[in-house]
């Protein structure tokens, strides 16, 4: 089967620290991959390298049949990778619609001439985008779909998370990166958000997801497969149940906790 994402000996160093150490990873289309590991094990670094914010120190990333190792974040976003952030990076002064449109950048016409002089065509583009934004928002949370013009600052944590996921989804990416979507939310809220994400996924054919998460319930429930990182290296790979039984994983991750508890 033709993989969507293929990373070969991907490495990223910061001075003397190797945050990502020779990672090999292959991701079939349509899979939901869980990326787990203790704090500082390289999960967010991996996202940052994947989205072009950090260039890899060595190794290759192939996405959708194309080498993107040396691409800028802009090119990578255009190629079809979108993400959410561990700590919300929405613009709170802007409305839901405006935040969504930032995520929709590649599908909007940003030329000066179009925006200044072709106001009729611009209005049509805005109208179409508005309808689309409302539809996407409705699959997440119906009441939110009617509040697209309100500033983000007036919304609760879970609503902000929903908007953030929608901002990543609206450009119809092939690969969605979720960086700790449950952070700062209750179990019920997390469950609701995951339901929303799974539901939205059914509407976007072949959407592939990598999710970084500390909430093991979430990982167990929604992932097809897990990769465990420790000190930037892959120490285990497989279904969550298998991985959770792995001795190395228990030592690196779960084991540390049980020692603390004991």
Partner 1 sequence: MTLLALAAAAIAAYAAVLLHAEDQRLIGALIVLGFGTAAAAAKFGLLSRLGQAGRAHPRLAPLLAVAALIALILVLREDHFALLMIGTTLLYCVACWGLNLQFGRAGVVNFAGAAFFGTGAYTTAVLAAHTALPHWLIVLLAGAVAALLGSLLILPILRTRGHYAALITIAFGILFKTFLEVNDALGGPQGLKLPGFTLFGWNLNDNITVGEQELSFYVAYIALALVLAIFAFLLVRRLEHSWIGLNFDAVRMDELAATTFGINVARWKITAFSIGNFLAGLAGSVQATMLGFIAPNNFTLSDSLIMISIILLGGLGSFWGVPLGAAIVLILPEKLQVIQEYRFLLFALLVVAVLLLRPQGLVPRAQRSFTDRIR
Binders in 149-208 for partner 1, by CB under 8 A? 149, 151, 167, 171
Strand segments, DSSP code E, in 75-192 are: 81-83, 175-179
Of 107-115, 155-163, 185-193, 217-225: span binding partner 1 (CB under 8 A): 107-115
Of 32-40, 94-102, 135-143, 224-232: span binding partner 1 (CB under 8 A): 94-102
- Is 70 one of the binding residues for partner 1 (CB under 8 A)? no
- Is 82 one of the binding residues for partner 1 (CB under 8 A)? yes
Which three-class secondary structure string do you get for 3-23? EEEEEEEEEEEECCEEEEEEE
The DSSP bridge partners found for residue 176 are: 82, 209
Shortest distance, position 71 Cβ to partner 1, whole Å? 11
Shortest distance, position 168 Cβ to partner 1, whole Å? 8
Nearer to partner 1, 91 or 199 (CB): 91
Binders in 35-64 for partner 1, by CB under 8 A? 51, 53
User: In sequence order, which residues have a C-beta less than 8 Å from that of residue 53 and are 6 or more positions away?
Assistant: 73
- Is 119 one of the binding residues for partner 1 (CB under 8 A)? yes
- Is 80 one of the binding residues for partner 1 (CB under 8 A)? no
User: In sequence order, which residues have a C-beta less than 8 Å from that of residue 54 and are 6 or more positions away?
Assistant: 12, 45, 48
- Selected binder of partner 1 within 122, 192, 204, 254 (CB under 8 A): 122
Of 22-30, 91-99, 189-197, 224-232: span binding partner 1 (CB under 8 A): 91-99
C-alpha to C-alpha distances, 7 to 32, 64, 65, 251, nearest whole angstrom: 16, 12, 12, 26
- The answer to whether the beta carbons of residues 234 and 41 sit under 8 Å apart is no
CA-to-CA distance for 161 and 101, rounded, in angstroms?
16
- Is 127 one of the binding residues for partner 1 (CB under 8 A)? yes
The phi and psi torsions of 158 (rounded to 5 degrees) equal -70, -35
The DSSP bridge partners found for residue 11 are: 58
Residue whose entry in the numeric block shows the structure tokens 């949370």: 141
Binding site for partner 1 (CB under 8 A): 51, 53, 73-74, 77-78, 82-83, 85, 89-91, 93-95, 97-98, 101-103, 105-106, 108-110, 112, 115-116, 119-120, 122-123, 126-127, 130, 149, 151, 167, 171
């Amino acid at each position: 089967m033709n993989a969507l994402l293929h990373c070969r000996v991907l490495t990223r160093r910061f001075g003397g620290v190797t945050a990502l150490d020779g990672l090999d990873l292959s991701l079939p289309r349509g899979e939901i991959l869980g990326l787990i590991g203790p704090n500082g094990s390289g999960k967010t670094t991996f996202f940052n390298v994947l989205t072009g914010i950090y260039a890899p120190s060595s190794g290759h990333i192939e996405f959708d049949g194309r080498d993107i190792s040396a691409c800028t974040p802009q090119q990578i976003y255009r190629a079809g990778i979108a993400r959410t952030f561990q700590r919300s990076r929405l613009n709170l002064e802007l409305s839901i619609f405006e935040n969504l449109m930032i995520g929709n950048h590649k599908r909007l016409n940003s030329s000066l001439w179009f925006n200044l002089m072709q106001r009729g065509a611009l209005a049509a583009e805005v109208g179409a985008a508005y309808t689309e934004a409302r539809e996407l928002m409705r699959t997440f949370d119906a009441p939110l779909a009617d509040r697209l013009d309100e500033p983000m600052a007036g919304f609760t944590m879970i609503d902000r998370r929903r908007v953030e996921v929608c901002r990543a989804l609206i450009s119809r990416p092939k690969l969605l990166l979720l960086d700790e979507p449950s952070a700062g939310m209750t179990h019920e809220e997390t469950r609701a958000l995951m339901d929303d994400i799974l539901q939205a996924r059914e509407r976007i054919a072949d959407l592939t997801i990598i999710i970084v998460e500390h909430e093991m319930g979430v990982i167990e429930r929604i992932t097809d497969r897990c990769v465990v990182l420790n000190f930037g290296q892959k120490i285990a790979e497989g279904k969550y149940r298998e991985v959770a039984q792995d001795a190395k994983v228990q030592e690196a991750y779960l084991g540390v906790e049980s020692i603390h508890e004991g």
